[in-house]
């Protein structure tokens, strides 16, 4: 394994691990705040138990996320020193703001965890709301830095060097709004539907357990609307990619030829040698309409670009298909669940089964989406400016930290699952 591949693999594994904790940091506080508010309104002690359990879950994931996030920070400097030297002045602003949001979240999470009998109910609920808001802001600032890497702005190039940096203009790069909106909704959708699916599965085993029934209701209140709105944010993000990263769009869709009325492909496997995507179901004009809202619009294909600037087409296309496919299924299941909530109907067995099956779908969508975002940008670490191969450290033997940190993540993952089961998932005796 080359050092470049080892560095990229280590970064990929670290991001894939950390992003789960980032999602929980955004979504879980919303669940605990809603549960506490329902307890205050109804006096139902089960909601109080839920709020406390979800708060403990938030604390566990926050602590491990802080560790994995710190590792990522070191990896940026150790594995990609040229990138940090090149772009540090620009991404420093969103990362600094993320640090403020992180510490705010930590402070008010402490108030929330230990303030049940020490502060008033309104103050306690306000602390939970601030945890939820700071978690969202933390995610937004990190994604904003990634948006700049995809669509760099807010500076001037002078003989290949970045000068005249305008941090706020950089934070308002063309992809910033689309990426942050898409990721925030993804966090709520994936976490909410995962929690709903978990408790739906437990309800199938214990149909009279009121603890799981109330947890399912609160989780659907967060996950179902977000999953239904996600396709809209995806459409917004897709049009930004079409305008700013046409080669990434072509790889996502397996589009090799530049053509008007470009078809939308469902499924299929790109054949890079033959310059065609095989076995796909094609909808004539679908890609042109989605990318430009014009069925006759021309979409640039991969053949318009030098092949050394193509991302790994097969990986990007398949990851995109997984994200869109599972995201659509999740939105349909969320719509069905929301209909039951609005009509105040009992959850049917079929709905509980589908929710159970959908439990991991949101997380798979997020991991696939980040694969599209990061792999689809290759061979650039900063689109059109700095290549990934030019940013990696010259230090040899990078396979050693790759194996070390991968093993560490496995052990951390096992510990987190056990703690969550003990502190959050396992319910008390059945409640009617």
Q: Hey, what are 115's tokens? A: 């303030």
Q: Hey, what are 402's tokens? A: 């790759």
Chain position carrying tokens 């709903």: 196
- Residue range 108-132: mean pLDDT, rounded: 90
304-311 CB contacts, 8 Å cutoff, 24+ apart: 304/246, 304/250, 304/258, 305/246, 305/247, 305/250, 308/379, 309/247, 309/379, 310/247, 310/251, 310/272, 311/247, 311/248, 311/251, 311/375, 311/376, 311/377, 311/378, 311/379
Instruction: Tell me the residue length of the chain.
Output: 432
86 and 386 Cβ atoms separated by less than 8 Å: yes
- CA–CA distance from 418 to each of 56, 412, 414, 423 (Å)? 13, 10, 6, 9
pLDDT in tens, 218-260: 999 999 999 999 999 999 999 999 999 999 999 999 999 999 9
Residue 11: predicted pLDDT: 85
pLDDT band, residue 206 (cuts 50/70/90): confident
The answer to whether the bond into 379 is cis (omega within 30° of 0) is yes
- CA–CA distance from 293 to each of 232, 327, 379, 384, 405 (Å)? 13, 21, 29, 26, 45
pLDDT band, residue 425 (cuts 50/70/90): low
Q: Is the pLDDT of residue 429 over 60?
A: no
Percent of the chain at pLDDT exceeding 90: 40
203 and 215 Cβ atoms separated by less than 8 Å: no
- Residue range 58-64: mean pLDDT, rounded: 83
């Amino acid at each position: 394994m080359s050092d470049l591949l080892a560095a990229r693999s280590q970064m990929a594994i670290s991001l894939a691990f950390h992003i789960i904790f980032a999602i929980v940091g955004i979504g879980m506080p919303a669940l605990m705040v809603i549960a506490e508010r329902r307890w205050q309104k109804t006096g139902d002690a089960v909601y109080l138990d839920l709020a406390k359990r979800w708060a403990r879950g938030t604390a566990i994931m926050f602590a491990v996320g802080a560790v994995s996030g710190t590792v990522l920070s070191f990896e940026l400097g150790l594995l990609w020193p040229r990138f940090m030297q090149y772009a540090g002045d620009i991404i420093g602003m969103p990362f600094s703001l993320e640090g403020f949001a992180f510490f705010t979240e930590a402070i008010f999470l402490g108030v929330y965890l230990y303030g049940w009998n020490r502060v008033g109910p309104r103050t306690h609920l306000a602390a939970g709301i601030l945890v939820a808001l700071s978690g969202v802001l933390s995610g937004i600032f990190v994604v904003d830095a990634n948006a700049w890497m995809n669509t760099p702005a807010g500076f001037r190039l002078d003989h290949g060097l970045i000068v005249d940096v305008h941090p706020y203009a950089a934070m308002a790069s063309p992809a910033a709004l689309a990426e942050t909106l898409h990721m925030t909704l993804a966090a709520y959708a994936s976490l909410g539907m995962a929690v709903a699916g978990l408790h739906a599965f437990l309800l199938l085993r214990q149909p009279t357990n009121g603890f799981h029934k109330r947890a399912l209701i609160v989780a659907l209140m967060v996950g179902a609307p977000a999953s239904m709105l996600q396709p809209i944010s995806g459409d917004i993000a897709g049009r930004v990619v079409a305008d700013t990263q046409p080669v990434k769009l072509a790889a996502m869709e397996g589009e090799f030829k530049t053509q008007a009325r470009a078809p939308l492909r469902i499924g299929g496997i790109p054949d890079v040698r033959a310059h065609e995507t095989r076995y796909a179901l094609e909808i004539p004009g679908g890609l042109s309409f989605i990318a430009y809202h014009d069925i006759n619009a021309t979409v640039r294909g991969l053949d318009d670009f030098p092949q050394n600037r193509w991302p790994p087409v097969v990986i990007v296309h398949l990851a995109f298909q997984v994200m869109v496919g599972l995201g659509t299924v999740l939105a349909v299941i969320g719509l069905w669940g929301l209909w039951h909530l609005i009509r105040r109907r009992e959850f049917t067995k079929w709905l509980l089964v589908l929710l159970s099956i959908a439990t991991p779908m949101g997380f798979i969508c997020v991991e696939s989406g980040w694969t599209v975002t990061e792999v689809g940008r290759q061979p650039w670490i900063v689109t059109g400016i700095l290549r990934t191969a030019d940013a990696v450290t010259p230090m040899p033997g990078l396979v050693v930290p790759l194996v070390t940190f991968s093993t560490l993540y496995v052990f951390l993952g096992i510990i987190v699952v056990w703690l969550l089961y003990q502190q959050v998932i396992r319910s008390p005796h059945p409640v009617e």
